[in-house]
A and B are shown apart, each in its own frame.
Chain A
Amino acid sequence: MADKRQSTETAEPFTERERVPTVVVDGVHITYTVHGTKGGRGSATSALSRIVSRRSAPGAREVHAVKGVSFAAYKGEAIGLIGSNGSGKSTLLKAIAGLLPPSRGQVFTRGQPSLLGVNAALMSDLTGERNVILGGLAMGMSREQVRTRYDDIVEFSGINEKGDFISLPMRTYSSGMGARLRFSIAAAKSHDVLLIDEALSTGDARFQRRSQERITELRAEAGTVFLVSHSNKSILETCDRALWLESGTLRMDGPAQEVVAAYEEFTGKKK
């Protein structure tokens, strides 16, 4: 399905004039309820009396994580999301991926965005090999496609550089190795929209370079890449555009250099 779409679109080169949007975020607000924010009230008896009296949990609290963010992303763009911890970057990515419903506003996407997070463990009790195969099949690749890409995926991940790790269960991997394999699996397919949540920061320098190359390729294949990172360096190296979120609002949107410079000034790294 996606392959067909890709083949029709790679034919036309990306031009500045005919910009085709891939993600449109229109006035999105996201609120979610967090349970258990207050300690000491979680006993069984209080939970029971709560159910009986139909009160809401005392620890439950509404968090307004994203407050009215609007932007449009176009084909071939790599967009960095920056901002301090808790500014709503990851929440916004989840909304774009369709994993969190916006409470107001709408998110439009071309095709199905794929979110790559650090915490997505795929199947930790299965071997890396099985994870590659199952991951490929789950993304909608055929058995044949998985077989032909398998070696590339494993080689790209660099998992086997220090011995035969691919035949070990994924729970035995270090967090960096796991993140590398997951990125390699997801990057094996061309995505219209790829969302990366700090996955690159866990890899070593060589893997970071390789994944940056892959992101460039994905962009050339008319995809859009979103990257959340606390490393301003990797944003500058990978992205041409940056969005700066601060406490749920879009503070700045523009070329990566300008936005990162303003952000650095704000956080006091410069001066």
Chain B
Amino acid sequence: MTDLSALARRHGLTVSGARPALPDYLRALWSRRHFIGAFATARLTAQYSQAKLGQIWQIMTPLLNATVYYFIFGVLLNTKHGVPDFIPFLVTGVFIWTFTSNSIMAGTRAISGNLGLVRALHFPRAALPIGLALQQLQQLLFSLGALVVILVCFGQYPAVSWLLAIPALLLQSLFNTGVSMAVARLAARTPDISQLMPFLLRTWMYVSGVMWSVDKVTNGDGLPHVVTVILKCNPAAVYIDLMRFALIDSYTAGQLPPHIWAVALGWALLAGVGGFLFFWKAEEEYGRG
């Protein structure tokens, strides 16, 4: 028995299924960057391949979502009261929120939904949640096309401030990818997470000011200061606020919490680096059983 181990060591064989060191892992992941891109695009086009309208759903789905929320929150519950440019406000919120929420939902199925791939081929597993998050980013770009049309229809014309959307989206993408990786590890171990996640996400959505103005609520008295800070520093709210600030004229810097870019960067780095390390720590366990 020890003879065999000695033989293996003498010829430089490595223990099968051991987790690669972080630099090796990063290098392997970088060498799979084409796979990540191709995987995201393939997923995106396969998504609506069964539907008759095909790729039109890429734009239809977010638009229909925005319509539903407009009727419920804008018309029936009248949260638009006191919010100028409510439709651009709402649609931006819904699209940006959908990006985060879909990335996280995709993360819960990153491993379990690709077991065939995981069990057949060897590649750094982080390629899967990253690829799925990239797919959501591509999808968001479709939605943003629709968003630009809506903005122009409601009198928001392209301005220099729109360029701020780029750093905001990059930070949000990093945040989403990180959370997606963390959730992917949790859901790979406990599949029940993907059942629970829609409820957590819905709760998160309702506190993130997607269809109402956090600023309007927190300006009223009665809320303790801590609650106000938590509501405003909630990452989803931060990224939504930044996009609204970039795209909508009547959404001014006064409505943003202080140091918002620092908060946005902090969340992105925390989730991105933390999520990646957390995912890598269990690399050897994915696809087992």
Q: Is A bound to B?
A: yes
Judge whether B117 is part of the interface by a CB distance below 8 angstroms.
yes
Are A114 and B17 closer than 8 Å at their CB atoms? Answer: no
Q: Which one of A27, A100, A106 has the greatest number of beta carbons of chain B within 10 Å?
A: A106
- Alpha-carbon gap, A96 to B15, bound state (A): 9
Residues in A217-271 with C-beta less than 8 Å from chain B: none
Residues in B1-45 with C-beta less than 8 Å from chain A: 1, 4-5, 7-9, 11-18, 28, 31-32, 34-35, 38-39, 42
Judge whether B116 is part of the interface by a CB distance below 8 angstroms.
yes
Cβ-defined partner of A125 (8 Å) among B16, B32, B49: B49
Are A123 and B16 closer than 8 Å at their CB atoms? Answer: no
Are A1 and B31 closer than 8 Å at their CB atoms? Answer: yes
Q: Which one of A23, A24, A95 has the greatest number of beta carbons of chain B within 10 Å?
A: A24
- Alpha-carbon gap, A135 to B18, bound state (A): 22
Are B117 and A108 closer than 8 Å at their CB atoms? Answer: no
Interface of B is mostly: helix
CB contacts between A and B, total, < 8 Å: 133
Given contacts A123-B117, A186-B121, A101 and B31 within 8 Å (CB-CB):
no
Query: Which residues of chain A are within 8 angstroms of B35 by Cβ–Cβ distance?
Result: 134, 137-138
Count of chain B residues with a beta carbon within 8 Å of a chain A beta carbon? 37
Query: Which residues of chain B are within 8 angstroms of A130 by Cβ–Cβ distance?
Result: 38, 42, 46
Query: Which residues of chain B are within 8 angstroms of A106 by Cβ–Cβ distance?
Result: 5, 8, 15
Are B38 and A100 closer than 8 Å at their CB atoms? Answer: no
Are B11 and A117 closer than 8 Å at their CB atoms? Answer: no
A-B contacts, 28 listed (Cβ < 8 Å): A22-B13, A25-B4, A70-B4, A95-B16, A96-B16, A100-B288, A100-B289, A101-B17, A105-B1, A106-B8, A107-B15, A107-B17, A108-B16, A110-B12, A117-B119, A120-B120, A123-B42, A123-B46, A123-B114, A126-B42, A130-B46, A134-B39, A135-B121, A137-B32, A137-B35, A137-B38, A140-B28, A186-B120
**Top 10 A-B residue pairs of the complex, sorted by shortest distance between their CB atoms:** A98-B17, A108-B8, A120-B120, A137-B35, A108-B13, A24-B8, A121-B116, A98-B16, A107-B16, A26-B4
